[in-house]
Structure 1
Amino acid sequence: MASVDECRQALHDLASRLERHAEVGQRIDLDRTLACRVTDLDTAFHGRITGGRLVDLADGDDPKAKIALITGSDDLVALVHGQLDVTKAVASRRVSIKANPFDLMKLRKLL
């Protein structure tokens, strides 16, 4: 099981990757609040996806977030580091993403 610090670092790694993509013009046109709920650690993180970037990452849940990623700690780390395919993870229920269908299509590009 990954630790809370490893999950936090994985989200910061994702934010860095999105920052690099945004700088070279491969940004995702999405402006939404995001909650990442890590089930096996009973913890959560929240932030905002805007201008192709993941910003304002902080500890704690955002129950009103427009996008919610729900997963275990090991799956979160593997997903962010490209070791777990998001489509297969969702199909096997290792990862759950709650968002409207149009946002889901855009989110596929992030992970």
Structure 2
Amino acid sequence: MATIEECRAALEKLSENMRGAEGDVRAAASLDRSVSCRITDLDVTFAGRMTGGRILVQDTLAGPPREKAQIRLAMTGDDLVALVGGELHFAKAWGSGRVRLEAGLRDLFHLRKLLR
């Protein structure tokens, strides 16, 4: 099982990948939205902001998020690490229910460019 530190490192790597993106992916990454990533097996939530083409984790909270973020993810720690490491494809994980993504319709259209 992935640790909290491994999950935070995976989010940092995702942020670095987003920052180096180009074209449509860069445009999608440039959204300015509140973000939460709930790690279900660790019962922890990383809360922060997607801004300036990256994700800034501002808090690590025990349990579910305190406030409803504009973009919300939920998954196990192992799935987060596998997604960022390229071992798990987002569309398959989302389709099978391993990953939950909730956001407004407009944000989902932008995010689909990031999640190919």
When normalised by structure 2's length, the TM-score is: 0.83
SS at the partner of 2:73? strand
Change (3 A) 1:86 1:50: same
- RMSD of aligned C-alpha atoms? 1.9
Q: Percent identity?
A: 46
- Relative distance call for 1:67 and 1:82 in structure 2 (3 A) is same
**Given the superposition, is the C-alpha separation of residues 32 and 62 from structure 1 closer, same or farther in structure 2, using an over 3 Å criterion?**
farther
Structure 1 segments unaligned to the other structure (5+ residues): none
**1:40·1:73 contact (CA, 8 Å) conserved in 2?**
yes
Deviation of 1:6 after TM superposition, in Å, equals 0.5
Partner of 2:2: 2
| Alpha-carbon offset, residue 56 of structure 1 | 4.2
Tell me which residue corresponds to 1:100: 104
Closer, same or farther in 2 for the Cα pair 1:97/1:37, shift >3 Å? same
Aligned position for 1:26: 26
User: After TM superposition, which residue ranges in structure 1, 4 or more long, deviate above 6 angstroms?
Assistant: none
Q: Which runs of 5+ in 2 are unaligned?
A: none
SS in 1 for 2:21: helix
